[in-house]
Structure 1
Amino acid sequence: MTAPDDDRRIDLSVFDDGLEVLPDITDDERGSSWGETAEDDTARLLEDRPPHWG
């Protein structure tokens, strides 16, 4: 007779191949996916600031 699944020990180290299962950020969240460059956009963002922001 076998033990219930709750009591069975499974060695998960055999499944660790070093690959990331779920990334922290997906490709569509990166600026490069939207055509943005890696340069500093601070000046452009300050220029595009709405007038009601003061």
Structure 2
Amino acid sequence: MLAPYEVAFVKDASCPSGKVLKVTGAIRGLHRRKACVAMAGEQASLATATP
């Protein structure tokens, strides 16, 4: 669950190689915004999730 206007970067197969999915939370009644974006090296290291 994302708060309104909160941003999450997701690495999945929906974006081409070298890009990640940027998901932006929306206010009630609106759809989340999704876009494939290139991610800088320092951002990529912060986005690594551990199970």
The question of a shared fold, defined as TM-score above 0.5 by the shorter chain, is answered with no
What TM-score, normalized to structure 2? 0.20
Higher Cα Rg: structure 1 or 2? 1
What TM-score, normalized to structure 1? 0.20
Greater RCO (CA < 8 Å, at least 6 residues apart)? 2
Between Structure 1 and Structure 2, the one with more helix by share is: 1
